[in-house]
Amino acid sequence: MLHPTTTTQSGLVLGVCCDQLMQHQHQQARPGILTMLAKKEMHMMMSKDLAMQEQSEKRLLTTTRSWFRCWPPPCFILFVSLLEVAVFVYASGETSMEDSLLIYSPEQRLQLWRFISYALLHCSWLHLGFNVSTQLLFGLPLELVHGWWRTCIIYLAGILAGSLGTSVVDSEVYLVGASGGVYALLAAQLASVALNFGQIRHGLAQLMAVLIFASCDLGYAVYSRTLEDRTRPTVSYIAHMTGALAGLSLGLLFLKQFQGGGRPRLLRWLALGVWSAFSIFAITFNLINTVTAQLLAEQEGKVIKQRLLHDLGME
């Protein structure tokens, strides 16, 4: 038989031991709980990152699909290419290209359609094939992404810039070929990549491809113009450079920028200013040059008439 005091003390000792044992087990279990919570939080973060990545990829895929629309089809570049081929076939039977109503002639500057229509004429099948294949290669993707009317404005502006630039710098050249429009498309492709560089895969490779292609063709044009003796109407390399200027400036002004907000106001004003300054100067130069040439011709005609009347004794 135990003494009551001894029994009470034993119970107290047993209770204290149980409490210490529970605290020890709780301390041992706490690191395991923290580890499980950390793993769960890490799993949630990884799941969130994967969901955001999938959403970003879906958004990029949706944006890419919206860029390359198959409807409406790229009708402008196809139409222009077929028209150039048809005109070349029709005009191939003409004996002298200089007498064509389409060629840009420095003596016929008042016939304003010649500043655009010269692009429909080409010197040879090689010249035609190169221009048509190049504008199909670079113009079709541009029209699929940015629409036909933007591509039309850039192409026609490049052709007009080619004839205007040639009339100022190389004013005695008869001009044929769509090189001004082709180089406008090349430069517009550069503008498109620059505006959407973060959303285009292999953007740097596209930039380098366009630059290498344009440099090689421009170098060949300069070589052909300076070293070869051409008696037929030829394409001035000035048309390449001014066409590229038009394509780059109007591309930065008109082409779509799909993400990142609107383009900087300074960039828009700079592009507009470059194109406007070039156009105003070239048009003013042609007007003054044409009026001056007419006045000189009239004065020369009066002098010749007076000499003729004097020689005939009718003065």
> Known catalytic residues?
179, 240
**Could you please report the per-residue DSSP string of 269-294?**
HHHHHHHHHHHHHHHHHHHHHHHHHH
Running DSSP on this structure, what letter comes out for residue 121?
-
Query: What is the rounded distance in angstroms from the CA atom of residue 246 to the CA atom of residue 187?
Result: 8
Cα angle, residue 255 at apex, residues 162 and 245 outer, rounded to 5°: 25
CA dihedral 223, 227, 231, 234 (to 10 degrees): 10
Evaluate whether 196 touches 257 at the Cβ level (below 8 Å): yes
Query: What is the rounded distance in angstroms from the CA atom of residue 159 to the CA atom of residue 183?
Result: 9
148 beta partners: none
234 beta partners: 175
Query: What is the rounded distance in angstroms from the CA atom of residue 18 to the CA atom of residue 9?
Result: 14
Q: Which of 286, 180, 171 is nearest to 242 (CA)?
A: 180
Q: What is the largest CA-CA distance in the chain?
A: 172
Query: What is the rounded distance in angstroms from the CA atom of residue 227 to the CA atom of residue 245?
Result: 25
Query: What is the rounded distance in angstroms from the CA atom of residue 44 to the CA atom of residue 54?
Result: 15
Cis (ω within 30 of 0) for the bond into 233?
Answer: no
For CA atoms 244, 246, 249, 255, the dihedral sign is negative
